[in-house]
A and B are shown apart, each in its own frame.
Chain A
């Protein structure tokens, strides 16, 4: 990791230094800025917070939001929990995967809190409800 990136990391750490339990807020910021949490970042954060690298690795690997590798394509989070299943999301999955193939990653999530109007999906911070085959396809095409 180059010095620039380390400096940026120090800035993030400093931003949260006076909070109680600062690890998750720091990891969220690193994830948001870099798209993943590298081995170097883990080591550096561990040192700054007086934790072991294993402690930090344990936390990073526990939570679905923190990624070990940078996503190489856009991500669409598709809800496949009970309420969306009851509204037919499973019937959309195969076609969506086929359209997305190699261009968009379709990630399964469980619940976006829009449960009466599913099937639902989320891209970044934008939410989409009442998806059917054509609407989901259009959403994927828009990302690809």
Chain B
């Protein structure tokens, strides 16, 4: 925890975590009681609790990309925990502790369960979003049908609660909001926090870096639920009233509007935005409820279409000095896994893949050993990419077995395959658009080196071959550049470096030379050779182009119509008559499969 207070990065004290909108929040918290009247203080206290809930929406949606309408459910749970305990049991220190525990832990448990339902593998993002819509609706129904226990539609009121003065409440709520804000900020800019952004940018890449995005999102929802529950508890205890609308989905959608209008993914922006909009609503909606709603709705639509970053970044952009944090790169020792050099790392036996009656792979059996550079060739539609998919995802094949470094992958997820020692580079550069080069590389190391929740590592350890790729391609000079701004070739190189950073035993390379210049091809060819020959990796190179492959491959496998037709050294294969016919005149049938 010491690292928490002694920020390792230059000049990043706790205070500097707070951005310009955050500073405004801080000022509001400090000067509030001196300048605000009772009514305003009262409104602000509630707004502070709402802002905490808005943080969770921003973390889930703005940072992680999971749109949620359901944070109101957890807020409401927290509020009802306070209301129910204080009403039915009483208000003693023990019951306060119980209520608080129920609010935080209860909400977290519901959050974890909701996460489990929403974020299974392959769930569409719409599904999670709709579950988040259903949760508050179901909860609301339960509360409405709860009779005198939950107070039904009238809610619970008149229970004893903390007897603080308004000013004290103001400090408590404001302080809690600032603490939540700073903690969230510390977490979000830590290495672990960047994982959230990487999930938003490219979930499948995360899985192929060995991370488990579903599990991360489930845990995150649990934590966010707990935080919203805490805010709800505070709100319930402060206002002395809990009502069904606190759990309702229209409240949940309001939070989305706050976050969207003020700037998703900026943390302090949504907090300030929540305060401003809550106060404005308190003053304006009484005079013109429908028009106010209409204006909010219109502003929301316009911001979503034209200004997805929201309004506050627009206002504070002139003041935001972009602080890019650039760690150093260091070479790491690659540990030998104690396996025999010539023991196969990849064993495929009778692998097949069918789509209904269509058979894309039939009875594919082959092995790969360390130090081999195997070219997998074949015309379009021969099943090359399908083969790669089967190797890296246990759910893909319909028959046969695959062993990676001795582990049967059964029906396991890509992340498991990666942990067994597989690295997969996709055909199109598959990276994290909004992360910097350094962050992308750090992300690739998450499985091997646990990411800190509080800080950023000053040093990124990379295996020598990954470091070589970074250096040779000039990426080292661009560590602070956002990946989206790299050239096509640099993006390809970055992805390769990321995959290599996993220290894989087997690496799948899907058309890595596509779109590269001749010079780039030659240099990348040398990289591959050294991976296989110098570092003993098993490289599988899917290529359309036989000429490139025959230069570097130790062995070539030719696929045609889903089966291995020829296998052998480059020379044997290239000269084989069969291969020449296949390449000379691909049948129409293959085109269809493509």
Q: Do A and B come from one complex?
A: no
A interface list, Cβ under 8 A from B:
none
